[in-house]
Structure 1
Amino acid sequence: MGKEFIELFEHWADSYDSSVTGHDEEYKEVFLHYEEILGEVAKRANGHVLEFGVGTGNLTLKLLEKGLTVTGIEPSPSMRKIAFEKLGNKAEIVDGDFLNYPKDNSFDTIVSTYAFHHLTDEEKRQAIADYGNLLREGGKIVFADTMYESEDAYKKAIADALSKGFHNLAEDLQREYYTTIPKLRNMLEENGFSANFEQFNDFVWIMEAEKL
């Protein structure tokens, strides 16, 4: 489940924080309003938070600053090392992924940023079904990720990247498992969630889903 991307994150770990601040022109638009996006996800979270794809711990920091308890899941050892250095013992961070994690039914909110696209649509469906069983009524999923309003919008994003000479970005958009909002909405509603989607840049939307 997304394990094919771990090597990528092992290599990216040391430069990740530089990338998200817009120093890479090719990915500048992907990470536009990065701090605002993380802050908005943290603002919508409450209680005991399960965070997938901790990375270097940037969202985790904002969750902790809000006074929340965080259990973080991160499959990349290099990313976990940086997160530990940044966070100390303020949050529990363990090896795992969107489908393999501690399932103790004590979580109030499940969050993630820039990571859910590492799952195929079938894996996304399985993950959301698991979260539907895990969360109590009123519990929430709050994910910020690249997604598209339609297949045509997805194809246009690839064409736009190529037209700008952003070949690495175009390759990423085709290699990873980006999906559409209608598909995600259907998965969520099938599993007892009410979902809302809000766009924050040309790539990233926040998906907020409440368990009914």
Structure 2
Amino acid sequence: MGREFVELFNRWADNYDKTVQGVEEEYRAVFEGYDAILQEVAHRSSGNVLEFGAGTGNLSSLLLHKADKYMGVEPSEKMRKISEEKLAMALYDGDFLSFSKPSWPIHTIVSTYAFHHLTDKEKAQAAAAYSQLLSEGGKVVFADTIFINDDAKHDMIKKAESVNYLNLAQDLQTEYYTTLPILQTLFETEGFTVDFKKMNSFVWIMEAVKS
């Protein structure tokens, strides 16, 4: 359920905000247009919003200005503390599959740079759970590294290795990055209509609307 990565999140917490602004050359392409990606996810969100993997609160701060109600879920204690200082509000300990459900109806479920911490089997479980949480017209808006197909993923790993971006190459091989067809099928199976928008050479936004 992504919990195997919590220690990584805790170690990364203090430097995360610098990383997403492109200070690390190895990950610069992954976070290219980071602010625009967050703005796009926020723009597609409406009503009562549930955010998974709130991290250090960068998307959360945008959502608080437009959501009717907001709840943020984050498994890393260190990242939650940073978020809570930024936002002056509490986040909840949890993950994509294990979390305290809000007392109010949910209209939009969002996440950025986090859904790849679930295996495809766990992603399917999440899609099924979100289908139950959302009414018709409710939606899931996720921005994450996704590949067109397995060949594109393998090509990106080789490209990273060729320029000695060995940490990036290892991340792409050890975390659970999926493909557009798999993700589309997982959500369509649970009654969603799915669209994708490419944001940079790694990141796509998926908008899945409950039919």
- Classify the TM-score, shorter chain: over 0.9
CA shift, 1:186, in A, is 0.4
Residues 17-56 of structure 1: CA distance to partner in whole angstroms, max 9, x if unpaired? 0000000000000000000000000000001100000000
- What is the CA–CA distance in structure 1 between the aligned matches of 2:68 and 2:150, rounded to whole Å? 37
- What is the CA–CA distance in structure 2 between the aligned matches of 1:134 and 1:77, rounded to whole Å? 26
Partner of 1:189: 188
Gaps of 5+ in 1: none
Secondary structure of the residue that 1:139 maps to in structure 2?
A: strand
Secondary structure of the residue that 2:136 maps to in structure 1?
A: coil
CA shift, 1:65, in A, is 2.2
Runs of 4+ displaced beyond 3 Å: none
CA RMSD, Structure 1 to Structure 2 (Å): 0.9
Partner of 1:53: 53
What count of residue pairs does the alignment treat as equivalent?
A: 210
Contact between 2:120 and 2:178, CA under 8 Å: does it hold in 1?
yes
Contact between 1:103 and 1:134, CA under 8 Å: does it hold in 2?
no
Gaps of 5+ in 2: none
Contact between 1:53 and 1:112, CA under 8 Å: does it hold in 2?
yes
Partner of 2:63: 63
- What is the CA–CA distance in structure 2 between the aligned matches of 1:179 and 1:211, rounded to whole Å? 21
Secondary structure of the residue that 1:137 maps to in structure 2?
A: strand
Contact between 1:140 and 1:211, CA under 8 Å: does it hold in 2?
yes
- What is the CA–CA distance in structure 2 between the aligned matches of 1:88 and 1:147, rounded to whole Å? 33
TM-score (norm 2): 0.97
- What is the CA–CA distance in structure 2 between the aligned matches of 1:52 and 1:93, rounded to whole Å? 10
Percent of aligned pairs with the same amino acid: 56
TM-score (norm 1): 0.97
